[in-house]
Structure 1
Amino acid sequence: MTRDERIGTAELLYERAVFGGDDNALEGADAALDAVEADLCMTRGRVVHARFLDSRRRGRPAADPRELELFERAARLYRRSGDTRGEGEAAFWVGTFHQVVRDDTETALPSFRLALDLATRSGDRLTMSYALRHLGFAEHMAGDLDEARRLFEESTRLRREVDFLPGVAANLIGLAYVAAQQQRRDEAARFLKEAEELSARTASHGVLLWAAEAREELELP
């Protein structure tokens, strides 16, 4: 593994401050270390979230309060450094914690909307697709199937643009549920077929399992 260049930069700035008498160098060192810490918080938070999903799959869901703390810390650090893209991603994960771990979509919605706004401004189409997907879940749960479909379709379009095929497959499963509820069963079956094909092609075995569960639940051939 290679060492993060930002840590090396911070060390050089430390030496410049201590040995070179450059008082302004420390601000740069703080900024470099804030960026490293923000990335670390994001990655560790996602690992904690993956552990929650695994525990839920095993029937023993175990939430870790560190998850929210990590994502909120990342959001603050990105905001302080003016990293709009990073802040948008962190805002999405704050919302995901509330929606997925705490089953509190109402609390999650402002974070998803903020994530969508920040990601749109920074041109981060992947985070846009995630925010739209989870806003689609919210509309689906609220019973607005037309709006849920629109959001899932927009998310899917963005995922195709960035070639995020496992994510496309996951969205197609969501669209299949909506289509089945709207009595468009042939379309639901087509969505699941494509989801299965994409999952198999990309070795996305977890998504393939979701597709199989959806096919059984929706009683599709």
Structure 2
Amino acid sequence: MTHAALAFVDVDELLYAIKELSVAGRWDRATRLLASVTAEEPADRARLTRAAAEVALDRDWFAGTDTAAERIEAAEKEFPDGDWDTDFLRLRHTYARLLLVDGTLRIGPDGKDPEALAALLDRARELHAGAPDEVRRGWGAMYRGLITENHFADRTAAATHFTDALRAGEDGADGLLAREALRHLGDQDHDTGDHERAGERWRRATALGARAGTVPGTLSQQLLLAVLARDAGDEAGAVALAAEIVRWAETIGADRLAAQASAFLTGTDPTALPAATDTD
């Protein structure tokens, strides 16, 4: 009979490693690592439970799975007096859940519960105002922008929040936050016809994502560069890049991203604004 060797590790270093694995799209490895850990201190167990919820949420976003709800509930039980980071995970989960109407992505408020959307925006405001540091305030601003843009279709107000998030990401040296803000600011540039400015922002976002080690995030950003190639008339280049994105995304299990890139190959523009809904 063999026994696994035991080792003692610093919890902070362990959590950094798990975060990097999750950002890189190594969700199974991050989950197995968390499952292998035993923590004696209640505070450490709570942080590990919260980390498991974040890994599941990252997986759900890129892979289209549904694994985070139970883990977020478990994390909330570990923090009965409240915890900003856990509350932010709940906000992210609710934001993503409300994007789907009858299983289909829907931008804007049509077909969604107005009370649920209002509650989501109110919660985002609270988390933004109560954030304990500059970077978290930046993430609060980022999600205020995402909610305002994708659930309320107010792109002008959203741009202000994205700009605040970009400033916080740059000042607080959070490359992932700066990448996310640049991605959405570039999308607005693209939709207004300023493809040069969009390209500048999207290329910078791609570099920031690569530096931070986000494999699925960098692939999703490269899909936007494929959009620019198609806009510029380089269909062969756009198709070649999108085909590689499909191959990479399928390999790492980012099925939702692979589906988006596959749709691009058939002519779908992932940046296109939704058609107006007839409300008569």
TM-score normalized by structure 2? 0.62
1:107 Cα deviation from its structure 2 partner: 0.9
**Which residue in the other structure is 1:48 paired with?**
94
Q: Distance between the aligned counterparts of 1:48 and 1:86, measured in 2?
A: 18
1:101 Cα deviation from its structure 2 partner: 1.3
1:161 lines up with 2:211 in the alignment:
yes
Q: Distance between the aligned counterparts of 1:49 and 1:188, measured in 2?
A: 30
**Which residue in the other structure is 1:191 paired with?**
241
Aligned residues: 189
Secondary structure at 2:266 match in 1: helix
Q: Which runs of 4+ in 1 moved over 6 A?
A: none
Which residue of 58, 67, 84 maps to 1:38? 84
**Which residue in the other structure is 1:91 paired with?**
141
**Which residue in the other structure is 2:8 paired with?**
none
Q: In the TM superposition, what are the counterparts of 1:4-153 in structure 2 within 5 Å? A: 4=43, 36-55=82-101, 57-58=103-104, 61-62=111-112, 64-78=117-131, 81=132, 83-153=133-203
Determine what percentage of the aligned residue pairs are the same residue.
21
Distance 1:52 1:180, change over 3 A: same
Q: Distance between the aligned counterparts of 2:150 and 2:187, measured in 1?
A: 10
1:182 lines up with 2:232 in the alignment:
yes
Q: Distance between the aligned counterparts of 1:124 and 1:36, measured in 2?
A: 24
Q: Which moved more, 1:157-166 or 1:195-204?
A: 195-204
Contiguous gaps of at least 5 residues in structure 1: 8-32
Q: Give the number of the structure whose residues are more often helix, by fraction.
A: 1
> What is the one-letter code of the residue matched to 1:189?
V
1:56 Cα deviation from its structure 2 partner: 6.6
Q: Taking CA–CA contacts closer than 8 Å with sequence separation of 6 or more, which of the two structures ends up with the larger relative contact order?
A: 2
Secondary structure at 1:102 match in 2: coil
**Which residue in the other structure is 1:27 paired with?**
none
Contact preservation (8 Å) 2:243, 2:262: no
Q: Distance between the aligned counterparts of 1:127 and 1:56, measured in 2?
A: 30
Q: Distance between the aligned counterparts of 2:157 and 2:42, measured in 1?
A: 38
Secondary structure at 2:267 match in 1: helix
> What is the one-letter code of the residue matched to 2:174?
D
1:74-113 deviation digits (Å, cap 9, x = unpaired): 11111xx3x0111111111111111111122111011000
